[in-house]
Amino acid sequence: MIPKRDQIYRLPHDRVGDFTFDEAVVDVFPDMIARSVPGYASILSMIEQLSYRFVRPATNVYDLGCSLGAATLLMRRQSPTDCVIHGVDNAEAMVQRLKIELANSPRSDDVCDVIVHHADICGFPMTNASFVVLNLTLQFIDIEKRGELINSIYQALLPGGALLLSEKIGFDDPARQSLLNDLHHDFKRANGYSDLEISQKRTALENRLRPETMETHHERLREAGFGCVAPWFQCFNFASILAVKDVESR
């Protein structure tokens, strides 16, 4: 099915409120994220590939901030049938739409179970995990809660398990920050967004999405205990990191 075109900010708003993952966003989300996040398709492709490498039989997989389940459904194709994938999101509209899609999918014994949870990922119980995905999710979590969340993921992962963390990132150097912001806006224009749409969405997100530097993410992951922290992707001001728990860890 062809996704609906994102036109949420096409017309001038008298007041641009904070961005929310409501029904209006759910209706256009696949188009919105594809036209707004450079390299999004590549990140999804690698999530599928990495799940084949890291997901182990009889373990749990967590897609934290699963939205409409793009990563969840790709991981399901590569995971052993005795795994359970947990999609977790605090946006009820996203969760309900994903549940409908799963209910309408043909039942098969060749794929693992998927359980969708309407819940806050901060404090969500996790255990026996071989692979965890935070794909463009941590950036919406209060900064003071991010360290605790990463620590809980580390504790839930089995030795040799991995976390895939993708984020919009910031830069300490003002010139670099300005250049990559401009390049990101050029990317949006090339995908059909007007200057008005770009400006209004930026206003809507400024109190919700708080980017951090790659150095901050790297330090937090190291502090949690991850032995291998490998930035593997960057396109303008979006990046992805693979963090692996040491095999001898407890």
89 labeled binding residue: yes
Q: Does 135 appear as a known binding residue?
A: yes
| pLDDT score at 1 | 56
- Give pLDDT, residue 246: 95
Element (H, E) at 113: strand 113-118
52 is in an annotated binding site: no
Rounded to the nearest integer, the mean pLDDT of the chain is 96
| Rounded Cα distance, 149 and 140, in Å | 12
9 is in an annotated binding site: no
The per-residue pLDDT for 178 is: 98
| Among the listed residues 162, 129, 127, the one whose alpha carbon sits nearest the alpha carbon of residue 245 | 162
Per-position DSSP letters for 229-248, written without gaps between them: EEEEEEETTEEEEEEE--TT
pLDDT at 175 over 70: yes
Q: Is 152 annotated as a binding residue?
A: no
CA dihedral angle for residue 27, residue 31, residue 32, residue 38, rounded to 10 degrees: 160
Q: Is 82 annotated as a binding residue?
A: no
Residues 85-128 have pLDDT tens digits of 999 999 999 999 999 999 998 778 889 999 999 999 999 999 99
Distance CA 111, CA 124 (A): 24
Contact 240, 232 (CB under 8 A): yes
Q: How confident is the model at residue 131 (pLDDT cuts 50, 70, 90)?
A: very high
Q: What percent of the chain has pLDDT over 90?
A: 92
Average pLDDT of 174-178?
Answer: 98
Specify the pLDDT at position 13: 86
Q: How confident is the model at residue 187 (pLDDT cuts 50, 70, 90)?
A: very high
Per the annotation, does 121 bind a ligand? yes
Tens-place pLDDT, residues 135-166: 999 999 999 999 999 999 999 999 999 999 99
pLDDT single digits (tens) 42-97 = 999 999 999 999 999 999 999 999 999 999 999 999 999 999 999 999 999 999 99
Domains of the chain, each with CATH number or no CATH: 25-235 (3.40.50.150)
3-state DSSP assignment of residue 154 = helix
Residue 2 has pLDDT above 70, yes or no: no
Is 90 annotated as ligand-binding?
yes
User: With 60 as the cut, is the pLDDT of residue 184 above it?
Assistant: yes
**Residue 54 to residue 91: CA distance in whole angstroms:** 28
**110 or 231: which carries more pLDDT confidence?**
231
Rounded percentage of the chain residues whose pLDDT exceeds 70: 98
Nearest to 177 by CA among 214, 142, 122: 214
Helix 143-156 crosses helix 214-224 at what angle (to 10 degrees)? 40
- Return all residues near 77 (Cβ < 8 A) that are at least 6 apart: 48, 111
Please list, in sequence order, all residues whose beta carbon lies within 8 angstroms of the beta carbon of residue 9, skipping any fewer than 6 positions away.
Answer: 16, 196, 197, 200, 201, 204
pLDDT average, residue stretch 221-231: 98
